[in-house]
Amino acid sequence: FAGDPRFNFILLDKNVGKRKAQIVAIRRSSGDLVLNVDSDTTLASDVVAKLALKMQDPAVGAAMGQLVASNRGDTWLTRLIDMEYWLACNEERAAQARFGAVMCCCGPCAMYRRSALLLLLDQYETQLFRGKPSDFGEDRHLTILMLKAGLRTEYVPDAIAATIVPDRLGPYLRQQLRWARSTFRDTLLALRLLPSLDRYLTLDVVGQNLGPLLLALSVLAGLAQFVLTATVPWSAVVMIASMTIIRCSVSAFRARQLRFLGFSLHTFINVFLLLPLKAYALCTLS
């Protein structure tokens, strides 16, 4: 496409990170809408049209599409992540969108109103955390800036974007570490925003941050009981197993796909890997 006059490729002298590269492109753009797409993402042919249709409402500042794993069939992990993405999009984001406030428009496929972006770019570029320039969590922070500006953020489930997901635990855990730090840090920024949004969003944000903490306390209490009394904490085991089965069954019914029953395996990853990782993320936010 280099010779096509409709395209303008910007080559930077060095890797300055996603945030600064975004800002350079946005400032040199001219359209009413800006579409952010990650380099490992393939869009369905109608994604731009469907997102642009949602953006016809001037009160909407950003809209994201539904993410699926393009390499879903590669490993057991990619299959789990594909289901994780479906749940994140069609439960969490879909619920938030009913109140006009998707809390994070994901980077693989997110459309923004350029006029609003230009007003927010200085805040976006100069974001600091504990006195240091911020170099992660771009998508969540930009979404929160849109909400703080009084604009709605939306989810379009039939705008499908296929993205490559980690196929091994190491890269997956590194990705989750970045996301956990971003969630904790930007939740602090969103607290002052919550009173202006629907009360459901307060419940949602509190639940997302307290849920892992309460689960971690349950697991630690169970381990302490086992070590100190040599008895199995059956009440905790049964409760976690019951909640897992209920959630996966509801998801399988809503998606009309039995494969979501297999998402119960993700509970082991969550309890034994992601909970310790989130604790580490909380201790290393800087």
Q: What is the CATH number of the domain that holds 235?
A: 3.90.550
Paired with 163 in beta bridges are 41, 69
Count up the domains in the chain and report the number.
1
CA atoms within 13 A on the CB side of 114: 14
What average pLDDT does the structure give for the chain? 93
pTM above 0.75, yes or no: yes
Q: Which two tokens stand for residue 180?
A: 């956990």
Instruction: With respect to residue 151, please indicate whether it lies within any of the assigned structural domains.
Output: yes
Please give the average per-residue pLDDT across 256-272, as a whole number.
Answer: 95
Instruction: With respect to residue 6, please indicate whether it lies within any of the assigned structural domains.
Output: no
Instruction: With respect to residue 236, please indicate whether it lies within any of the assigned structural domains.
Output: yes
- Summarised one tens digit per residue, pLDDT across range 93-123 is 999 999 999 999 998 999 999 999 999 999 8
Paired with 33 in beta bridges are 113
Please give the average per-residue pLDDT across 55-80, as a whole number.
Answer: 97
SS3 track for 122-162: HHHHCCEECCEECCCCHHHHHHHHHHHCCCEEEEEEEEEEE
Please give the average per-residue pLDDT across 56-64, as a whole number.
Answer: 97
Please give the average per-residue pLDDT across 183-187, as a whole number.
Answer: 84
Q: Which two tokens stand for residue 145?
A: 């800036």
Please give the average per-residue pLDDT across 242-258, as a whole number.
Answer: 95
Instruction: With respect to residue 2, please indicate whether it lies within any of the assigned structural domains.
Output: no
Position 183 scores a pLDDT of 86
Tell me the C-alpha to C-alpha distance, in Å, between residue 3 and each of 6, 8, 30. Answer: 9, 9, 19
Q: Which of 5-9, 94-98, 136-140, 165-169 has the lowest mean pLDDT?
A: 136-140
- Beta strand 132-133 pairing with 152-163: unpaired
Instruction: With respect to residue 108, please indicate whether it lies within any of the assigned structural domains.
Output: yes
Contact assessment for residue 129 and residue 188, using Cβ atoms and an 8 Å cutoff: no
Instruction: With respect to residue 91, please indicate whether it lies within any of the assigned structural domains.
Output: yes
Phi, psi at 12, each rounded to 5°? -85, 155
Instruction: With respect to residue 3, please indicate whether it lies within any of the assigned structural domains.
Output: no
Q: Which of 126-130, 172-176, 205-209 has the lowest mean pLDDT?
A: 126-130
Q: Is the dihedral of CA 195, 59, 149, 284 positive or negative?
A: positive
Instruction: With respect to residue 182, please indicate whether it lies within any of the assigned structural domains.
Output: yes
Contact assessment for residue 143 and residue 62, using Cβ atoms and an 8 Å cutoff: yes
Tell me the C-alpha to C-alpha distance, in Å, between residue 17 and each of 21, 43, 125. Answer: 6, 23, 11
Given a cut of 90, is residue 257 above it in pLDDT? Answer: yes
Q: Which of 14-28, 56-70, 124-138 has the lowest mean pLDDT?
A: 124-138
Given a cut of 90, is residue 212 above it in pLDDT? Answer: no
Could you give the maximum distance between any two Cα atoms of the chain, in Å?
Answer: 73
Range of 241's domain?
18-284
CA 151 to chain centre: 19
